[in-house]
Amino acid sequence: MSAVDFAQFVERLADAASAAILPFFRSAIHAHDKSHGGAFDPVTEADRGAEVAMRGMIRDHFPAHGVVGEEFGTTNPEAEYVWVLDPIDGTKSFISGFPTWGVLIGLQHRGRPVYGMMRQPFTRESFVGDGAAAHWRGLDPSGAPVARPLHSRACADLGQATLMTTSPLLIPEAKRDAYARVERAVRLPRFGGDCYAYAALAGGFVDVVVEAGLKPYDIVALIPVIEGAGGIVTTWDGGDAAGGGDVLASGDPRTHEQAMALLARG
Amino acid sequence: MSAVDFAQFVERLADAASAAILPFFRSAIHAHDKSHGGAFDPVTEADRGAEVAMRGMIRDHFPAHGVVGEEFGTTNPEAEYVWVLDPIDGTKSFISGFPTWGVLIGLQHRGRPVYGMMRQPFTRESFVGDGAAAHWRGLDPSGAPVARPLHSRACADLGQATLMTTSPLLIPEAKRDAYARVERAVRLPRFGGDCYAYAALAGGFVDVVVEAGLKPYDIVALIPVIEGAGGIVTTWDGGDAAGGGDVLASGDPRTHEQAMALLARG
């Protein structure tokens, strides 16, 4: 069974997650602080409801599959197929009323991300990829459904690049110098975005994304989208990004090399 | 003629601007750099086309009115009514493919902002206010039009606040300490947003916005929205924000006082 056979199922997972989440977007809801006095890390009813819905569908349809989820942990991680779910990537954007969060649904086959989707339920967009190709689906100005291929853009020189990171405040002290070398090298550094930054990179609007301390569920779903669009995503030192950690994504391998050199120096 | 009489006309201005802009959103377009070697300040064909369209409609319907526009300067600024236009506030978000830019349309009567709209054409949302009330218009999940009143939220203590600023890199060196005192005082500092941050404040999702060096067209349209939602917007030292400059907006007068004290200290 190839990864492409899962496309319709992923669509249904995203629909179920969207239905669970949207009623809570821009409603007055109580944001639990699961870090208990640490960094602000809101978890909403929406987040939990969406993951419960997706896990139930996976259990019903593919009982042998494993699941890694942001809210409810890991089930059967040694399975041939493992779903990697982040129902609301960008919870801080979500609670701030911004439409730049997303539902992340990734599928790993023997540990390799083979299919992924970022769904933005409010803007009704999906960014989808299987590592070989990627596409965007959304609405045209009249509200009619439309789809377009995603292609990352060429950028030979980091000095011409648009860089994104969700927030420099999320990069640990010890790594800020490395990050800052890249920030100083680019033409336009921009903050914000979470998963939307990687989606914009796949779309050819952003050249480099640098982040630190990601969990696997923050990035697994995005890897087949970025790679399918012609981009590259690794850890800062060029390793496999599927385990999370310090992640560098680029639309062009040349800027990727240049950014990796700056992140490694010193 | 009261400001409310202009509501339908503002809607048509926003529709014309949206029609001029949307074909260029997420297209490969050439971004001019009008600062000629200074800070990156992209101007797009979309920006210019939208302002031309809006200026033409104002000239046709209200030839005695003045216009202040981001792209084409000031016409008849001493008129009783002056329109203040920023066709694409957040051009860096725009060229990065993010849906967090907006069309800003403000109306001043004898120098006082009396009506304003932030339109986001891609998400098909409008945030509208007349200083006494404000509302949001958009689409529900089925795509049907929906409207809701906007109310900023209570936040008695700056320590519980969500703060937004478009980018700390946009705050001049000499003012960063003042800004940083506020950033350290809040619960959750967030970056990004441009006009969307003020709209989120009016919606009750963000408590404080701090920015520096704004132009009048960056803020005039937002003042009647913020104030209509129950918020407050002034310069850092409590003066009239309609002239731009260093701007502080808050959803609750108590956090406004606390933030002003921190911005003024030292």
List the CATH number of the domain containing A257. Answer: 3.40.190.80
Q: What is the mean pLDDT of chain A?
A: 91
pLDDT at residue B52, as a whole number: 97
Q: What is the mean pLDDT of residues A62-87?
A: 96
Domain of B16, CATH number, reads 3.30.540.10
How many residues belong to chain A?
266
| A137 and A172, same domain (yes or no) | no
| B56 and B88, same domain (yes or no) | yes
| A207 and A181, same domain (yes or no) | yes
- For A133, the token pair is 């190709």
Rounded-to-integer distance, Cα B266 and Cα A191, Å: 28
3-state secondary structure B150-206: CCCCCCCCHHHCEEEECCHHHCCHHHHHHHHHHHHHCCEEEECCCHHHHHHHHCCCC
Angle (deg, nearest 10), helices A7-21 and A45-61: 150
The H or E element that residue A199 is part of is: helix A195-202
Rg for chain A (alpha carbons), in Å? 18
**Is the per-residue pLDDT at A60 higher than 50?**
yes
Cβ contacts (< 8 Å) between B191 and chain A: which residues? 167, 191-192
Residue B121 C-beta-side C-alpha neighbours within 13 Å: 30
pLDDT at residue A37, as a whole number: 46
- The last residue of a domain, from among B99, B125, B149: B149
Smallest Cα distance from A40 to chain B, Å: 7
pLDDT at residue A36, as a whole number: 45
Residue B115 one-letter amino acid: Y
Cβ contacts (< 8 Å) between B99 and chain A: which residues? 99-100, 123
- For B233, the token pair is 């917007």
Q: What percent of chain A has pLDDT over 70?
A: 92
**Is the per-residue pLDDT at A41 higher than 70?**
no
The answer to whether B141 contacts A22, with C-beta atoms less than 8 Å apart, is yes
Domain count, chain B: 2
- The last residue of a domain, from among B149, B169, B202: B149
* Burial B156-175, CB ≥16 within 10 A → b, else e: eebeebbbbbbbbeebeeee
Smallest Cα distance from B260 to chain A, Å: 22
- For A159, the token pair is 């000095």
| A28 and A123, same domain (yes or no) | yes
Contact predicate A210/A248, CB 8 Å: yes
Host domain of residue A237: 158-264
The answer to whether A96 contacts B200, with C-beta atoms less than 8 Å apart, is yes
| A144 and A206, same domain (yes or no) | no
pLDDT at residue B32, as a whole number: 42
pLDDT at residue A27, as a whole number: 80
The answer to whether B162 contacts A95, with C-beta atoms less than 8 Å apart, is yes
Query: Is A39 at the interface with chain B, CB within 8 A?
Result: no
Could you identify the residue written with the tokens 């809210």? Answer: A71
Query: Is B147 at the interface with chain A, CB within 8 A?
Result: no
How many Cβ atoms from other residues are within 10 Å of residue B244's Cβ? Answer: 17
| A119 and A209, same domain (yes or no) | no
DSSP code for B265: -
Angle (deg, nearest 10), helices A253-264 and A176-185: 140
Q: What is the mean pLDDT of residues A213-223?
A: 97
Query: Is A141 at the interface with chain B, CB within 8 A?
Result: yes
pLDDT at residue B5, as a whole number: 75
Rounded-to-integer distance, Cα A54 and Cα A63, Å: 13
Rounded-to-integer distance, Cα A207 and Cα A161, Å: 5
**Is the per-residue pLDDT at A208 higher than 80?**
yes
In which residue ranges of chain B is pLDDT below 50? 1, 29-42
| A135 and A165, same domain (yes or no) | no
Rounded-to-integer distance, Cα A159 and Cα A136, Å: 28
**Is the per-residue pLDDT at A38 higher than 80?**
no
| B22 and B138, same domain (yes or no) | yes
The answer to whether A99 contacts B191, with C-beta atoms less than 8 Å apart, is no
**Is the per-residue pLDDT at A92 higher than 50?**
yes
Nearest to A30 by CA among A14, A55, A47: A47
- For A8, the token pair is 């319709």
Of the candidates B40, B143, B190, which has its C-beta nearest A96's C-beta?
B190
| B17 and B138, same domain (yes or no) | yes
Name the band, by pLDDT with cuts 50, 70 and 90, for residue A23: confident
| A98 and A221, same domain (yes or no) | no
Cβ contacts (< 8 Å) between B97 and chain A: which residues? 199-200, 203-206
Rounded-to-integer distance, Cα A52 and Cα A20, Å: 9
Angle (deg, nearest 10), helices B7-21 and B45-61: 150
Query: Is B187 at the interface with chain A, CB within 8 A?
Result: yes
- The last residue of a domain, from among B149, B166, B189: B149
Cβ contacts (< 8 Å) between A18 and chain B: which residues? 141
3-state SS assignment for residue B149: strand
- Predicted complex ipTM: 0.91
How many Cβ atoms from other residues are within 10 Å of residue B3's Cβ? Answer: 20
| A8 and A133, same domain (yes or no) | yes
| A186 and A68, same domain (yes or no) | no
Using a 10 angstrom Cβ sphere, with 0-12 exposed, 13-18 middle and 19 or more buried, the burial of residue B251 is buried
Using a 10 angstrom Cβ sphere, with 0-12 exposed, 13-18 middle and 19 or more buried, the burial of residue B93 is buried
Rounded-to-integer distance, Cα A224 and Cα A198, Å: 11
